[in-house]
A and B are shown apart, each in its own frame.
Chain A
Amino acid sequence: MTRRWLQEMLYLGLLLIMALVAGWFLGHVDRWLFIAIAIYLAWHIFNLYRLERWLGHNRGLNIPRTIGIWDDIFNNCYQLRKRERERKWRLVQLLREIRDSTAAMPDGMVILDRVGEIRWLNEAAGRLLHLRVPQDVGQRLANLMRHPDFVPYLNSNRYDEPISLVSPFSRGLYLNLGIVPYGSDQRLLLVRDTTRLHRLEAMRSEFVANASHELRSPLTVMRGYLDAMREDGRLRQMWGKPLDEMHHQTARMTAIVGDLLELSRLETELRQAPYAPIDVAKLVRGIRDEALSLGQGPASILLKVDSDLFLLGAEHEIYSAFSNLVFNAMKYTPVEGSVTVTWARESEGACFMVADTGIGIPATHIPRLTERFYRVDKSRHRDSGGTGLGLAIVKHVLQHHGAILAIDSEPGHGSRFSCRFPQERVSRTADHVGTA
């Protein structure tokens, strides 16, 4: 670059010398100097004009060729423009590839901004969520995807778990939606079509249910004969104890089959439980009577139940869950101990609690208690009966009602099982007397 400038200086110098020489021979040096400088200036102005035309009005790559420093400048401009074009072309190619790959993705992706407006979505999202590209860009997603489970999820800002729901416009289409926050206040919504998964789950559950149903009939037959045999005096003399044990085990099998059926039904039910009013006080009294007739545990159960407080949910599910908790308490509490059932309002919602002074549960077992067939002490439970599925049922029922199970226990002192229901599942008698 410096070379060019030196060259330019040289040209200028030569021009001036020529002017001086001309002036020396022909007189009027200043006039000749003036002409030389004028020529030099005109040369630059001309090239400036060409540069301006090319930059401003010519989008092409062909630039004028010239001599001296202007050639350098023109060349540099050309290079600049050429590089810019190449960069743009590369970016367009990259964008095209990204667009093609997102169009091919089976999962839907929607980019949402801070207020929940759609910034971008791919084809799969349009298909799964019934959105139109590009018209719906800029719309708030909650305006078009109005499902009452989705809108609070979107606004909650708690996205650790995705939610599953049935598509509001295509029945039979099951969707799983998860949100991933990123950047500064942006959110990425991922939509998966889980219809096939759901169908597989349903098939599995149906299989369990069918198998259980099939097992019921043979069990009923056996129970029938066993009952008859136990009545018979002669048989009782010789085979009394074995008959009793067979009766006990058959009863256990029947209970397990019943629980399996219940559990498989609960697992496939995606939707939350309905909001039918349940008289909890009455329910609990029924459970207490049944629990006392079991023949295990303390002779009486203390009830601290708010009879004015109703639960909104599915009655038979709640009956299952609550009775499981109470029967468990009775099973693991000695006759001298006590079992207390509480149903009361809390600051937000209500709590159903079963507290006992039984054998307690070591802390290491507590996280796994609600697993199916999980046993804390394997040897003991075979004697005391129980299906091993009770707490799994409780867990699913509570999930259906938006409730949480909390377990507190001290080995040797007792345990406390609490079910916390949200505000919307709770009501006072007065609220719905009119709609009965």
Chain B
Amino acid sequence: MDKLNLTHHISQKFNEELESIRNRVLAMGGLVEQQIADALRALTEGDSELGRSIEQQDYKVNQMEVAIDEECSRILARRQPAASDLRLILAIIKTITDLERIGDEAEKIGRLAARLAGAERPNDRYVALQHLGSHVQGMVHDALDAFARMDAEAAVQVAREDARVDDEYEALSRQSITFMMEDPHSIRQVLDVMWSARALERIGDHATNICEYVVYLVQGKDVRHAGFEAMEREVNERP
């Protein structure tokens, strides 16, 4: 495992600044993880109040993105970092964008949950969604852990999950279409379930993006858009 050496700076203060901004990104990650968990709970328990509260909390996530972005600009201007430090700042700027988008998707799910709360809740419609939800939750958590530990191999493992999430989403879509054909009265609700599934699938994509940034950060290799096999290859053949 390649570990970034953050301790070689002459300026101890710079060291602390970098570590502190890493902290803030992970704190933002923690909040986003909680938003996802709340959204899933609101969905499966039909808790409309919880769904509405997620919308309220989203402003905190947005605030954190803006604040961290400003701090990154400040560091770039003042310290003019190079090499691995520069990669860290760039990776952070990208990561917070993806985290904020995940927050938005969670808010969408919250809103849909509030809407679905009043309707009928046949069990079979929500089992697949719950499963997809916990899968995606796990991906986000593991991606953030990989970022915290600067672990490129773990990041690759998470990226591998995305293919499975996509498959699950496909299956759920097919199932939803069947429901809609069987019972046209349920179309509105089933559509809402499908939008929620779509939001979850997008969250999975964002988590994969974060993993790509981790690989870039740790090994200096850009594996975006290269597909999962290329990513795995790059990580395994280390210089």
Residues on A lying within 8 angstroms of B by beta carbon are: 115, 130, 132, 135-136, 139-140, 142-144, 146-148, 151, 168-169, 274-277, 312, 314-315, 427, 431-432, 435
- Quick check: A139 and B149 within 8 Å, CB to CB? yes
Contact yes or no, B53 A143, CB < 8 A: no
Once A142-B27, A143-B23, A168-B37 are accepted as A-B contacts, the answer to whether A135 and B149 lie under 8 Å apart by CB is yes
B151 closest partner in A (C-beta): A135
**Inter-chain contacts of A136 with B (CB < 8 A):** 149
9 tightest A-B CB contacts, nearest first: A146-B30, A274-B53, A275-B53, A275-B56, A143-B148, A276-B52, A143-B26, A274-B50, A276-B49
Give the total of B residues in contact with A, Cβ under 8 Å: 28
B141 near A140: Cβ-Cβ < 8 Å: no
Task: Report yes or no: B49 in contact with A274, Cβ–Cβ below 8 A.
Answer: yes
Encode B18-53 as 1/0 by CB contact (under 8 A) with A. Answer: 010011001101110110011000000001011011
Pairs across A and B, CB under 8 Å, 11 listed? A139-B148, A139-B149, A143-B22, A143-B148, A148-B34, A274-B47, A274-B54, A275-B57, A312-B56, A314-B49, A427-B56
B1, B53, B145: the one contacting A144 at CB < 8 Å is: B145
Interface SS, B side: helix
Query: Residue B162 at the A interface, CB < 8 A?
Result: no
Is A274 in contact with B52, judged by CB distance below 8 angstroms? Answer: yes
Please tell me if B144 contacts chain A, counting CB pairs below 8 Å.
yes
Apart from A142-B23, A146-B27, A147-B34, what 12 extra A-B contacts exist at CB < 8 Å?
A130-B145, A135-B149, A140-B23, A144-B149, A146-B29, A146-B144, A168-B37, A274-B52, A274-B53, A276-B52, A432-B55, A432-B56
Q: Which residues on the B side are within 8 Å of A115 (C-beta)?
A: 19
- Binary contact readout B115-130 vs A (1 if CB under 8 angstroms, 0 otherwise): 0000000000000000
Q: Which residues of A contact B26 (CB under 8 A)?
A: 142-143, 146
Q: Nearest A residue to B19 by beta-carbon distance?
A: A140
The residues of A that contact B144 with a CB separation of less than 8 Å are 146
Most buried by B among A139, A312, A427, A435: A435
Chain B residues packing against A (C-beta within 8 Å):
1, 19, 22-23, 26-27, 29-31, 33-34, 37-38, 47, 49-50, 52-57, 59, 141, 144-145, 148-149
Chain B residue with the shortest CB-CB distance to A152: B27
Which of chain A's residues have a CB closer than 8 A to the CB of B149? 132, 135-136, 139, 144
Expressed in whole angstroms, the minimum distance between the Cβ of A279 and any Cβ of chain B is 13
Nearest chain B CB to A131 CB, angstrom units:
10
CB <8 Å contact, A276 and B23: no
Contact partner of A277 (CB less than 8 A), chosen from B34, B52, B59, B141, is B52
Cα A140 to Cα B6 with chains together (Å): 13
Known contacts: A277-B52, A432-B56. The answer to whether A148 contacts B22 by CB under 8 A is: no
Q: Looking at the complex, which one of B29, B49, B148 makes contact with A315 (CB distance below 8 Å)? A: B49
By a CB distance below 8 angstroms, the chain B residues around A146 are: 26-27, 29-30, 33, 144
CA gap between A147 and B37 in the complex, in Å = 11
Alpha-carbon distance between A140 and B30 when the two chains are bound, in angstroms: 14
- Shortest beta-carbon distance from B128 to chain A in Å: 18
Chain A residue contacts of B59, Cβ below 8 A: 431
B108 to chain A minimum Cβ distance, whole angstroms, is: 12
Closest to B56 in A: A275
CB distance from A346 to the nearest CB of B (A): 20
Q: Smallest Cβ distance from A143 to chain B, in angstroms? A: 4
In the bound complex, how far is the Cα of B29 from the Cα of A377, in angstroms? 53
Q: State the Cβ distance, B33 to closest chain A Cβ, in Å.
A: 6
